[in-house]
Structure 1
Amino acid sequence: MMIEARGLVRTFKTKRGPVQAVQGVDLDVADGEIVGFLGPNGAGKTTTMRMLATLITPTSGSATVAGCDLAKDPVGVRRRIGYVPQSGSTLPEAVAGDEVVDHARLYGVSKAKAIADGQRLFEELDLPGLWRRQCKTLSGGQRRRLDIVMGLIHDPKLIFLDEPTTGLDPQARANLWEHIRGLRDRGATIFLTTHYLDEADALCDRILVIDHGRIVGAGTPEALKQQVSGDAVRLRLADHAGGRADAGAGGSRRTNVTETVIRIVEKLDGAIEVEAVADGVNFRIPRGGSVLPGLLRQIDAVGIELDGVEVHRPTLDDVFLTMTGRSLRDDSPAPADEPEKQKEAVA
């Protein structure tokens, strides 16, 4: 395993008293995986990543990261990992190539090798001709790729990426996804946080979901979606048949038609959340696509006309709503540990 953590806990001291930002996290990351570590704001994901990267010390628990014991050999962990923070790590006035070489020298890489490897990475990450450019003159996507070059320059086995595509335009995001897949293809293990569910779905071999400091879900994107209660199906009734009750006989007839459809749907094995809506009936059911042919025949047999049928497979957003009761982009406040984080320095 590239990462094996058991019972990781981190408690911060605040004016309001102790805050347990991480509450006994267990996680495993295999060699060569791209693992997404996802959770709403304040869930504990950044605190967990910072512990695994040796930026803060766990209050309790144990972990082996890149073959080194997190508590007994933090220096060994640092030598074997790359860490790309969300905020970036370059100085605006610095020259891009100098930043890369200086970073490599901190890891004991010779200047000649740092220049050769850095220029090669510039080519691989679509930064040709920018070696002597000041960082402040680079675009957002170029600066983000420069951050990744700095995280890779010492050839780490494990790379931590904290929100790698935040602030990038769609094209730059898509390009960076390809670069991240390329890192995995070259043998690296990637552990990343992201607020973009499409990013997690497209990139990650496996996803870990954290909420309130605990892991609440783990699996492949497809496996997690299958844990949500079925596909969402909408039956849109024809204008002259469906809808909620209105005044008069016409409204009563529409109500009767809707109730008839609901009774048919409720007899389906596994149908849940059956409800009348303005234009028809909504429900959830496993394998919605395979259920529909028989359902449509039953509805047609009683003379009810449909205006349309929609089937939506579960998304990762559905997974989050099911597991945490809130969206990944919930604007809940971050845990009250920021003052402590600012005081902590890399040992």
Structure 2
Amino acid sequence: MKRKLPPWLALLALFVFAASASAEESLPELVRRVKPSVVSVITYNAAGEVTLTGSGFFIRPGQVLTNLHVVEGAHHAEIRTFEGKGKTYKVAGLVEVDEDGDLAVLRVDMPAGRASVAETTAVVPDEGERIFVIGNPLRLEGSVADGIVSAVREVPSLGNIVQITAPISHGNSGSPVFNMRGQVVGVVTIRVMNGENINLALGVSRVAALRAGDHLFGFGELAERLKASQRPDSISDWYYRTGLNSLWLGNYDSALGYFETAVNRNPARVEAWIQVGFCKVKQGKNQDAIRAFEQALRLKPNSYEALSKLGDAYYYAGNYYKALESYKQAVSLRPDLAEGYYNLGSVYLEMGDRAAAIAQSNLLKPLDDALYKKLRQEIER
């Protein structure tokens, strides 16, 4: 005989369910909440003609983040907000640029308190996680597109690259990618492969490194900086950045060729040796990778990136004791980074030391809850 649920318990369950559902914002509610933090970026030539439009968002009061290529070559620029009927403000200058990340921070002339700063999160989104983008595709200001995260790739010295299914165009360059909590998880940067747009975003952890200083420089100075990086004596830079473009797309074989040319042109370039090693690991050539990382460490013995990636190469080669040694050195240099404790926990597990892995997970928990849960799942298998 089936037992009926008491009426009061049924009502309580219904109340709890309704409260839980109401706590989760719908997409329209999320868009209304975060849209004031997003802007359109318009650039002009000396004649006052529009040369390019893109998107951006407030990362600090009066400071807008966008893609560097959106403002490259501009004589002057302005932003237009999406809040209400929208307002237009002049860009006073640039605060910081990041050529490798294709990022630029603009200072905007606007009244104090008018900027709605976007909330960012360093937590890497999961594949299959729902996201949405607000931007300026085809000059359709404030348009919304949603989709999922289709892939996440790591690029050493750059960060995480997030590939998304949300339909976007070049006007979305610089748009924020939001998770379903209204937090920015990436900055849209479109890449072209075989004539088709590949919808990619750079993880926002790199944004935190962009300074918030008061020193401004103009678009003329920006042009001089970019011109200097393209001179013949900087040809190694060109090969290195072209290699990064291939890594954005996950083309490790192509990227390796550019990075190897970069180190041949400039054997003292540490980050290029790290990228050579990273690509070799992706190809399964772990011994070659180890040699590349060791060369990077000869040039820069205290490189966290080189030590961490050297540990990865030893790990995949099955040399867990050497991996442990490298990971420990990396953590000693950057005890604030969660990745190091996760790596140590993983290698301890492979060595059969479950207690040591649990100890690393306890150190990991206050730094990155998502990575902590991932390690704990591996421990409990």
User: Do both share a fold (TM > 0.5)?
Assistant: no
Question: TM-score, normalised on structure 1?
Answer: 0.27
Q: Which has the bigger relative contact order, CA under 8 A and spacing at least 6?
A: 1
Which of 1 and 2 has greater Rg? 1
Higher helix residue share: 2
